[in-house]
Structure 1
Amino acid sequence: MDLGWIIVTAIGAGASPAAPQAALTCAVATPPARPLSFTPSVGLTPRPVTVRGNLQLTGCVSPDGSASALRSGWVSLRVTADASCTSTARVRGRATVVWFGADGRPLGTSTITGGPGSLAPHRPADSLLSGTVTYGPLKGRRASGGLTPDAGLLSCATDGLSRLAGTGTMRFG
């Protein structure tokens, strides 16, 4: 599933002017002091890895007005993939998003799932944000995004990566 490391292709290069307008765009970040965890650590050579953790969605806006009630969200994810510091393949798993309105009250739960997985060059962590909403608010919409890690590629290559904190953008379109 694309939820493990693939968003670079969707967001890393930026949206094209001809792209359809997203139903919802949110800032995404790992919660303070709670980075995503990788077991075993990601290194130079691809190997099976499990990713677990949470992401916060904030400042959500609906340019087309179709999802204007959704203002923030809490994402829980568990993903497996063959991952290295520079690529990811065979990504499988799912994410659950609990949505909140302007008043902070829960508005529903969405499930994001993906296909059989694919390769994610350059910033493999991005694939954690990619898939299709299969249940709940925004059902049928494609999820994509980019997560820029706080640590660089060199650190991953020399020390390995067991935890990842970062920020970025997530779109549902």
Structure 2
Amino acid sequence: MDLGWIIAMAVATRTTYAAPPAALTCAVATPPGRSLSFTPTVGLTPRRVTVRGNLQLTGCVSPDGSASALRSGWVSLRVTADTSCTSAARVRGRASVIWFGWDGRPLGTSTISGGAGSLATHRPADSLLTGTVTYGPLKGRRASGGLTPDAGLVSCATEGLSRLTGTGTMTFG
């Protein structure tokens, strides 16, 4: 056998199993003066909670170039989940993203349908950023991310959580 062919096959095989690069990665944050709201208040024991609010996507980068026109976005979401200060389960919801280009003009709207299953963590708000793009730009891509709340776990446990502000990262891949 030709050694060049063997090397080419080894590289091709390795490439086949490599994870594809993300289509888009953005910074995510609650807008200034606007927090996500939780009804009823999140506490120590899980209960069915509705989350409503908006998020800003900024500084979006497309490592694979497939979504390079998308620079930022405005997310409107409504999610229900069995939520406590440390977990989220039976997460269901929908988010709408209005995308903007480099010039600030709208480029389209995507719909994200959520269904994160269960998440046990000190940041159950991460489950709000999980789903699949079912319509519009990035259709078929998986959305995921992390949202670090400004308030800590102790505050949630002692006072409850009716509003949340935070920052993080969101990826569409």
**Residue 21 of structure 1: CA displacement?**
1.2
| Paired position in structure 2 for 1:121 | 121
Cα gap change, 1:96/1:40 in structure 2, threshold over 3 Å: closer, same or farther? same
Kindly report which structure 2 residues correspond to 1:126-141, keeping only aligned pairs within 5 A, or say none. Answer: 126-141=126-141
Question: Is contact 2:93–2:115 with CA below 8 Å preserved after alignment?
Answer: no
Supply the AA of the counterpart residue of 1:98. Answer: I
Supply the AA of the counterpart residue of 1:86. Answer: T
**Structure 1 vs Structure 2 CA RMSD:** 1.1
Q: Describe the SS at the equivalent of 1:154.
A: helix
Supply the AA of the counterpart residue of 1:102. Answer: W
| Paired position in structure 2 for 1:170 | 170
Question: Is contact 1:36–1:52 with CA below 8 Å preserved after alignment?
Answer: yes
Q: Which has the higher strand share?
A: 2
| Paired position in structure 2 for 1:94 | 94
Structure 1 segments, 4+ long, off by >6 Å, are: none
Question: Is contact 2:116–2:131 with CA below 8 Å preserved after alignment?
Answer: no
| Paired position in structure 2 for 1:24 | 24
CA distance in 2, matches of 1:65, 1:83: 37
Kindly report which structure 2 residues correspond to 1:2-21, keeping only aligned pairs within 5 A, or say none. Answer: 19-21=19-21
| Paired position in structure 2 for 1:149 | 149
Q: Describe the SS at the equivalent of 1:117.
A: strand
CA distance in 2, matches of 1:116, 1:62: 24
Unpaired segments ≥5 residues, structure 2: 1-17
Q: Which has the higher contact order (CA 8 A, sep 6+)?
A: 1
Q: Name the larger-Rg structure.
A: 2
**Residue 116 of structure 1: CA displacement?**
6.6
Q: Describe the SS at the equivalent of 1:109.
A: strand
Unpaired segments ≥5 residues, structure 1: 1-17
Question: Is contact 2:60–2:70 with CA below 8 Å preserved after alignment?
Answer: yes
CA distance in 1, matches of 2:38, 2:94: 16
**Residue 115 of structure 1: CA displacement?**
3.1
Cα gap change, 1:56/1:116 in structure 2, threshold over 3 Å: closer, same or farther? closer
**Residue 120 of structure 1: CA displacement?**
3.5
Equivalent pairs: percent with the same residue?
88
Aligned residues: 156
**Residue 118 of structure 1: CA displacement?**
2.1
